[in-house]
């Protein structure tokens, strides 16, 4: 972790989640309204990913931001695929 606190990791994860949530909403804003529940779910997922990945794998906050953003995209798209297929 190299001197980066757990709080910092969670904050980086939350920031990645905020950006991810806003980008996702802007991409679909013509089709649907802003959904606070989806946005909140993205923030929680990103904060947890930030803490876990920061503690055990990615030490640099910039790399952590990119990794959490990408991880959130992958996880949410995989979950969407499972939900749509049922």
CB 10 within 8 A of CB 45: no
Enter the pTM of the model. 0.80
Which phi and psi (to 5°) does residue 31 adopt?
A: -95, -30
- Residue 46, pLDDT score: 92
Mean pLDDT by runs of 10 across the 86 residues of the chain is 78 93 86 88 90 84 91 87 78
Q: Residue 46 has which token pair?
A: 């990103």
Residue 16 and residue 54 in contact, taking contact as beta carbons nearer than 8 Å: no
């Amino acid at each position: 972790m190299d001197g980066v606190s757990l709080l910092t990791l969670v904050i980086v994860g939350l920031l990645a989640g905020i950006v991810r949530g806003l980008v996702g909403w802007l991409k679909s804003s013509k089709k649907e309204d802003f959904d606070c529940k989806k946005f909140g779910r993205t923030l929680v997922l990103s904060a947890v990913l930030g803490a876990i990945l920061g503690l055990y794998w990615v030490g640099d906050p910039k790399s952590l931001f990119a990794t959490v953003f990408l991880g959130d995209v992958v996880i949410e798209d995989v979950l969407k695929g499972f939900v749509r297929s049922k």
